[in-house]
Homo-oligomer: A and B are copies of this chain.
Amino acid sequence: MNERILQILLDHQDQFISGEQLSSRLNCSRTAIWKHIRHLRKQGYEFEAVPRLGYRLVKVPDKLDEEQLAKLLKTEVMGRRVHMYETVESTQTAAREWFSKGEGEGTLILAEQQTAGRGRLGRKWHSPAGKGLWMSLILTPRISLHFAPQLTLLTAVALCRTIHRMSGVPIGIKWPNDLLINGKKVSGILLESHAEDDRLQVVVAGVGISVNMGETDFPEELKDIATSLLLETGKTANREELLAEFLYEFEQLYQLYHERGFAPIRALWEALSISIGRLIRIQTHNGWVSGKAEAVDEMGALVIVQEDGSKTKLYAGDISVI
């Protein structure tokens, strides 16, 4: 009922609809209408209510809508169970706790805002409310722990293809898993895996996408290196739609991976990569490594051809500073 009222008011934002009209169209009492409006107000919708004129929708809250997401979702498993938080320390930590409570593969942990969002190498991940998608997906792939890094690349491919398909922007993957638009980072991916001896127990895929952040939403130190879909496309993106598309793309690739192995995923990654063919210079625990990025191997390591022609493999774990 809330939705039907909402729909009517959304369709007539330029005029007032009286309580009487709503009540007769929806076949319920005026009091019931009033109660639903009050409920919607609590959810963050703002209405102008004028006696004898009626109601007019003034503002729609930009809050993640679980029902909306469920409607848009085309997946079988991914995102079918959702735990949503207004605010949480970190969706990664929450996901791990949910897993130990029995939640399984495909369970999605979402947050409007993170107070201690985690990035790679122990850095913070800036997660302001209402502007992005901060999430963690529980996965239980039946693979040896050696292959967990392949899933990091898979996640990057899924997200890159989704954003490109939905917005058309020139987005590419900078090794190992940063998505860049015009040289600036629009998302971060962090896969945390937990293994028993060499058996993978769970992989928690953390994804952060800067969807609708404006210039003023970025702290000073990020202004030159980060961007958002809003800043790059000029348009506000519908977060539930983006999320549903991403989960569907992810599930497709995940199934492909289980059926055909890493080869097709690797091929897709290399096609989307902006690192391959470029000269790169990365700081590792053992000093600087530089050369031309040639390919990515079975384990997701970057193969670099150094000046003297020798090849080196760089693992994501080697990087000490990006």
A299 near B176: Cβ-Cβ < 8 Å: no
| Any B CB within 8 A of the CB of A191 | yes
B191 near A194: Cβ-Cβ < 8 Å: no
On chain B, the residues within 8 Å of A176 by CB distance are 197
Task: Scan A114-147; emit 1 where CB is below 8 A from any B CB, else 0.
Answer: 0000001100000000000000000000101110
B197 near A177: Cβ-Cβ < 8 Å: yes
Distance in Å: Cβ of A148 to nearest Cβ of chain B: 7
By DSSP majority rule, is chain A's interface helix, strand, loop, or mixed? mixed
- Alpha-carbon distance A191/B195, docked complex (angstroms): 8
Question: Closest residue of chain B to A176, judged by CB?
Answer: B197
- Alpha-carbon distance A316/B191, docked complex (angstroms): 22
| Any B CB within 8 A of the CB of A12 | no
| Residue from the list B193, B198, B316 in contact with A316, Cβ < 8 A | B198
On chain B, the residues within 8 Å of A300 by CB distance are 198
* A residues contacting the other copy or chain, number (CB 8 A): 30
- Alpha-carbon distance A322/B107, docked complex (angstroms): 31
- Alpha-carbon distance A191/B120, docked complex (angstroms): 23
On chain B, the residues within 8 Å of A149 by CB distance are 145, 197-198
- Alpha-carbon distance A146/B298, docked complex (angstroms): 13
- Alpha-carbon distance A229/B283, docked complex (angstroms): 50
A195 near B144: Cβ-Cβ < 8 Å: no
B198 near A192: Cβ-Cβ < 8 Å: no
| Any B CB within 8 A of the CB of A264 | no
- Alpha-carbon distance A299/B191, docked complex (angstroms): 22
| Residue from the list B146, B199, B201 in contact with A299, Cβ < 8 A | B146
B198 near A317: Cβ-Cβ < 8 Å: yes
- Alpha-carbon distance A121/B285, docked complex (angstroms): 35
| Any B CB within 8 A of the CB of A228 | no
Task: Scan A177-218; emit 1 where CB is below 8 A from any B CB, else 0.
Answer: 100000000000011111111111100000000000000000
Distance in Å: Cβ of A97 to nearest Cβ of chain B: 12
| Any B CB within 8 A of the CB of A315 | yes
Question: Closest residue of chain B to A190, judged by CB?
Answer: B196
B145 near A199: Cβ-Cβ < 8 Å: no
Question: Closest residue of chain B to A300, judged by CB?
Answer: B198
B200 near A317: Cβ-Cβ < 8 Å: yes
| Any B CB within 8 A of the CB of A152 | yes
Chain A contacts with B in 295-322, Cβ cutoff 8 A: 299-300, 315-318
13 other A-B residue contacts (CB within 8 Å) besides A152-B197, A198-B316, A198-B317: A144-B317, A145-B145, A145-B146, A145-B149, A152-B198, A177-B197, A190-B197, A192-B195, A192-B196, A192-B201, A195-B317, A197-B317, A200-B317
Q: List 29 A-B contacts (CB under 8 A).
A: A142-B285, A144-B315, A144-B317, A144-B318, A145-B145, A145-B193, A145-B195, A145-B317, A146-B146, A146-B299, A148-B198, A149-B197, A149-B198, A152-B198, A176-B197, A177-B197, A190-B197, A191-B197, A192-B195, A192-B201, A193-B194, A194-B194, A194-B195, A195-B195, A195-B317, A196-B317, A198-B315, A198-B316, A199-B316
